[in-house]
């Protein structure tokens, strides 16, 4: 009997197979642990053993977490093809699972535990020996059309990238991009190839926690798409102290030349290099890079081919002799596409990559992209290049995405309201199109895919006439945002971009947690698209496929909704989290009113709430919006505080003789009033309005606006210092009720502002030290009151959320939402009940304030300027 010949060893990826060669060097740094290459190799080997020796198709839900990376490396090291999908997109996972029937599905279960669901003991498919990885084509998610990449593609591209970036084993690269995106994956591969360390994080660069992790890990490398650089601008990246940073890489779309030059110059000053790169999924990741010493002088170029690659220009009809379609050749060119399981058995079907980009080669040997062949649109007989239109608008100071849509040009632009006509006129003059063929939609945030690239399909949908939009299938996050914020909500809208402020923040956060099943960190700056991806399974109905915007329904009051929810058993047992700022507002207003009623005597929370006001000012007013939009929203917030306050106080002045008329126009603090308790009743409202008016005026100055964006923590810290001049009355301006005077207490508002901008433990410790040193003495002979303020503001600085239950969260939400109005109205309620029924006086004061809050909210939704 003859012995059967052994099966050939499956093809593998060397950098995944040989991890152990780097021994005890650090491989992964996560918030919870550090893994050496030896330990990582052991985990990879254990997972590879579970996958088995027989090749199977593994669908992997990509995520920047250790379990996902280990599974990915285990499959590559033993020859199992990986179908890598976005782990946060349930619909994509479902669609590709149905289309490709994977043998193994690797993803977290409902409890978040990593799970290998082995569906077939042997593969149900014929898998080509060279097939290593399947990725969605650039710009698509959920489409069955995938890019087929070989083991050699992955190894060759990782080696090339590591070579031109100069990666060595002392590097530490952060995972700032999704694993399922070829650019993000290339960072992982090229880092592991050289035995360097990965800072494995799922945080955004807009998250203060990311920078804490990056600094603690001594990060050396950051990667970003154009949208990442928008976020970096918002968080003041250029002013950050990052002593170990060596390089910043950019790809995933065109970054405006002036921004390339600016970042290159910033890197030169700070000691790091900027690498601008060009690539496509079909080339595994990279095809070209711009040497960093040329970034400042040639920022419009994509550079030279990567090591091992080459370009040629194929003539393109309708263009000059020096412009052609860019065609790439190299060892990283894909095997071909897959559109069904029948294609998994195919070998190489392409030998070079037709990029679809129009380019020219300049005399100095650099390549420049001048257009996109496939994006040309034929509109009313005219050949229009949307990319050229985008460049034209950018020259005029307008950032926009443009796309052909049948017989019209669709344009989504970042601009002020009312700018549509000017944008339409600019395009018409340049392109020769009639205005009727140009559809312009002004947005506060441009639509992007999860990779950060432009979402041109959304541009088409958002600019179509309303009658083309199909009816809304049901309530979802778009409906929720539209209802609470009374605004047109789109997939790429966020709470802050829609003008949300502290007055509607509480209700929004509670409703959102109820919808998603949890409250994501930094939710107020995340887009609806991002939040939808984080929704717990079954938590909400799917969004409209076309991105159409629902019309808001009349909102039920927070109180009515809370009382209705109390009838469900889940309400009493569901564990929740509450933001510390909400807890402080809710507890604070109860203790303030209770102390005035003399049910108890616990003072200090009004001063804590000044810090909370500064904290919310930084989060909701100092957004990434343009200067004019920032100032407009700030004046709107001032009106929403001042107008209801003045109306109520005017009524109180007319109906009683206990309040001086100066209070009705919020001028009591500025006039020479007495020390009577009721004459100073509204000091808090006056101080808050004064602070916001002054800051609105300052933020309208372009220089100061730029200064705040660049020094997000330094500016409020400096204002704390200025505020301490008033705190200690060094100019001898304060004569009456010093602890209530706006000049004296401004430093608490600035301290809260700085707390919202603090991103490191050192910054928080500095603020805590300032608080502990400067707080004593504000309240003469009241050590308990002083201690309460210190504890409350320390919580705000250090503890973002607190544990809660459904009933507590609902009650806190109602009280926090109505805290300003409870404060306003309680002076006209409790005096009539205080003597005989103090507890009744307390509850009546709370209820009247909540009722006034509901009235103001309803009126504000009818009167848009409120």
Is 221 within the bounds of a domain? yes
When pLDDT is cut at 50, 70 and 90, the band that residue 843 belongs to is: very high
Domain for residue 430, yes or no?
Answer: yes
The answer to whether residue 45 is domain-embedded is yes
User: Please, what is the end-to-end C-alpha distance for the chain in angstroms?
Assistant: 90
Domain housing 433: 376-468
294 and 396 share one domain: no
Q: How many domains does the chain have?
A: 3
Q: Model-level pTM greater than 0.75?
A: no
Q: What pLDDT, on a 0 to 100 scale, did the predictor assign at position 404?
A: 85
**65 in the same domain as 184:** yes
On whether residue 140 sits in a domain, the answer given is: yes
Q: Rounded to whole angstroms, what are the CA distances from 140 to 85, 449, 501?
A: 11, 9, 34
| Beta-carbon contacts of residue 220 (< 8 Å; ≥ 6 apart) | 170, 171, 172, 173, 244, 245, 246, 247
Q: What is the pLDDT of residues 666-688, one digit of tens each?
A: 888 887 555 554 567 899 999 99
Residue that is last in its domain, among 312, 337, 369: 369
Tokens standing for residue 282: 């079909």
Task: Kindly report, residue by residue over 384-404, the tens digit of the pLDDT.
Answer: 778 888 888 988 889 999 988
Same domain, 727 and 640: yes
**Residues 420 and 353 both lie in one domain:** no
Tell me: do 31 and 125 sit in the same domain.
Answer: yes
Instruction: Of 247-261, 309-323, 532-546, give the lowest mean pLDDT range.
Output: 532-546
Q: How far apart are CA 494 and CA 291, in angstroms?
A: 37
* Same structural domain, 449 and 596: no
Q: Are 137 and 247 in the same domain? A: yes
State which of 435, 468, 501 marks the end of a domain. 468
Q: Is residue 527 a part of any domain in this protein?
A: no
> Do 323 and 452 reside in the same domain of the chain?
no
Q: What is the mean pLDDT of the segment spanning 101-110?
A: 93
Q: 185 and 104 in one domain?
A: yes
Which has more confidence, 259 or 141? 259
* 671 shares its domain with 778: yes
At 114-136, the pLDDT tens digits run 999 999 999 999 999 999 999 98
What are the φ and ψ backbone dihedral angles of 541, each rounded to 5 degrees? -80, 155
Q: What is the mean pLDDT of residues 139-161?
A: 85
Give the percent of the chain with pLDDT over 90.
54
- CB contact at 8 A, 673 and 662: yes
Is the residue at 4 inside a domain?
A: no
Same domain, 242 and 289: yes
Q: What is the pLDDT of residue 5?
A: 43
Q: Where does the pLDDT of residue 479 fall: very low under 50, low under 70, confident under 90, or very high at 90 and above?
A: confident
Q: The domain that contains 455 carries what CATH number?
A: 3.30.300.30
For 817-846, what is the mean pLDDT? 93
Provide the pLDDT for residue 311.
Answer: 97
Residue 517: pLDDT band with limits 50, 70, 90 = low
Among 58-72, 487-501, 563-577, 816-830, the least confident range: 563-577
**422, 442, 468 - which closes a domain:** 468
Mean pLDDT score across all residues of the chain: 85
List alpha helices for 534-659, DSSP H.
558-565, 569-573, 580-597, 605-620, 627-655
- Please give the pLDDT value at position 90: 84
State pLDDT tens for residues 765-813: 999 999 999 999 999 889 999 999 999 999 999 998 888 877 788 888 8
Does residue 544 form part of some domain?
A: no
Looking at residue 239, what is its pLDDT? 86
Question: What is the band of 265 on the pLDDT scale with cuts at 50, 70, 90?
Answer: very high
C-alpha 204/C-alpha 521 separation (Å) is 10
HSE at residue 492, side-chain half, CA atoms within 13 A, is 24
Quick one: 343 and 448 in the same domain? Answer: no
Structure tokens at 181: 């995106």
User: Is there a domain that residue 734 lies in?
Assistant: yes
């Amino acid at each position: 009997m003859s012995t059967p010949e052994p099966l050939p060893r499956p093809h593998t990826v060397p950098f995944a197979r040989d991890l152990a060669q780097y021994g005890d060097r650090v491989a992964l740094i996560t918030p919870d642990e550090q893994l050496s290459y030896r330990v990582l190799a052991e985990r990879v080997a254990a997972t590879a053993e579970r996958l088995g020796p027989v090749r199977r198709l593994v669908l992997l839900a990509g995520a920047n977490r250790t379990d996902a990376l280990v599974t990915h490396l285990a499959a590559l090291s033993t020859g199992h093809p990986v179908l890598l999908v976005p782990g946060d997109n349930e619909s994509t996972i479902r669609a590709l699972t149905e289309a490709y029937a994977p043998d193994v599905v690797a993803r977290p279960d409902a409890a978040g535990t990593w799970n290998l669901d082995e569906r077939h003991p042997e593969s149900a498919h014929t898998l080509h020996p060279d097939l290593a990885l399947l990725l969605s084509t650039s710009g698509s998610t959920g489409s069955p059309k995938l890019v087929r990449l070989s083991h050699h593609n992955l190894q060759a591209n990782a080696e090339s990238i590591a070579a031109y970036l100069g990666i060595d084993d002392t590097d530490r690269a952060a995972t700032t991009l999704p694993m399922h995106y070829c650019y993000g994956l290339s960072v992982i591969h090229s880092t592991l190839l050289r035995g360097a360390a990965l800072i494995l994080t799922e945080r955004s660069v807009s998250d203060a926690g990311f920078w804490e992790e990056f600094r603690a890990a001594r990060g050396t490398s950051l990667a970003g798409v154009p949208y990442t650089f928008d976020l970096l601008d918002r968080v003041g990246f250029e002013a950050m102290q990052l002593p170990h940073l060596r390089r910043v890489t950019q790809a995933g779309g065109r970054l405006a030349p002036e921004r390339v030059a600016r970042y290159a110059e910033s890197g030169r000053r700070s000691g790091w290099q900027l690498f601008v790169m060009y690539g496509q999924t079909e080339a595994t990741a990279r095809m070209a890079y711009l040497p960093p010493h040329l970034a400042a002088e040639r920022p419009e170029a994509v550079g030279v081919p990567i090591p091992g690659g080459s370009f040629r220009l194929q003539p393109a009809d309708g263009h000059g002799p020096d412009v052609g379609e860019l065609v790439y050749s190299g060892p990283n060119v894909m095997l071909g596409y897959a559109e069904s399981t029948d294609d998994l058995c195919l070998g190489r079907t392409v030998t070079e990559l037709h990029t679809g980009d129009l380019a020219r080669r300049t005399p100095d040997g650099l390549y420049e992209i001048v257009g996109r062949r496939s994006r040309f649109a034929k509109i009313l007989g005219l050949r229009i290049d949307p990319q050229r239109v985008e460049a034209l608008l950018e020259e005029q100071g307008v950032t926009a995405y443009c796309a052909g849509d049948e017989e019209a040009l669709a344009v989504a632009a970042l601009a002020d309201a009312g700018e549509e006509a000017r944008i339409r006129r600019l395009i018409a003059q340049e392109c020769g199109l009639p205005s009727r063929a140009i559809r312009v939609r002004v947005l506060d945030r441009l639509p992007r895919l999860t990779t950060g690239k432009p979402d041109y399909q959304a541009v088409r949908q958002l600019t179509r006439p309303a009658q083309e939009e199909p009816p809304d299938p049901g309530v979802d996050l778009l409906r929720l945002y539209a209802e609470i914020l009374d605004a047109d909500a789109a997939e790429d809208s966020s709470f802050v971009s829609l003008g949300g402020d502290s007055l509607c923040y509480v209700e929004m956060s509670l409703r959102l947690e109820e919808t998603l099943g949890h409250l994501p960190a930094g939710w107020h700056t995340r887009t609806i698209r991002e939040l939808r991806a984080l929704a717990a399974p079954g938590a909400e109905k799917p969004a409209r496929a076309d991105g159409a915007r629902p019309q808001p329904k009349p909102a039920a009051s927070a109180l009515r909704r809370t009382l209705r929810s109390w009838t469900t058993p889940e309400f009493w047992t569901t564990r929740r989290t509450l933001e510390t700022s909400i807890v402080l507002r809710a507890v604070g207003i109860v203790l303030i009113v209770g102390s005035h009623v003399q049910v108890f005597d616990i003072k200090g929370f009004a001063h804590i709430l000044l810090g909370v006001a500064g904290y919310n000012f930084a989060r909701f007013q100092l957004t990434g919006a343009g200067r004019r939009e920032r100032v407009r929203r700030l004046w709107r917030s001032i009106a929403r505080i001042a107008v209801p306050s003045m109306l109520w106080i005017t009524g109180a002045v007319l109906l009683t003789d206990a309040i001086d008329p100066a209070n009705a126009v919020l001028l009591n603090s500025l006039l020479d009033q007495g020390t009577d308790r009721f004459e100073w009743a509204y000091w808090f409202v006056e101080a808050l309005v004064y602070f916001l008016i002054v800051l609105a005026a300052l933020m309208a100055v372009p220089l100061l606006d730029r200064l705040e964006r660049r020094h997000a923590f330094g500016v409020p810290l400096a204002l704390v210092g200025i505020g301490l001049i008033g705190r200690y009355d060094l100019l001898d301006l304060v004569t009456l009720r010093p602890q209530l005077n706006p000049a004296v207490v401004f430093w608490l508002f600035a301290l809260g502002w700085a707390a919202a901008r603090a991103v490191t433990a050192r910054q928080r410790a500095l603020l805590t030290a300032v608080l502990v040193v400067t707080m004593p003495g504000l309240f003469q002979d009241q050590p308990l009151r002083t201690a309460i303020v210190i504890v409350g503001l320390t919580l705000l600085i250090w503890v973002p959320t607190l544990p809660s239950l459904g009933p507590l969260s609902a009650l806190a939400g109602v009280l926090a939402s109505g805290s300003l109005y409870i404060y306003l109205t309680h002076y006209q309620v409790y005096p009539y009940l205080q003597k005989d029924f103090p507890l009744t006086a307390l509850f009546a004061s709370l209820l009247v304030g909540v009722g006034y809050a509901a009235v103001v909210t309803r009126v504000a939704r009818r009167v848009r300027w409120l």
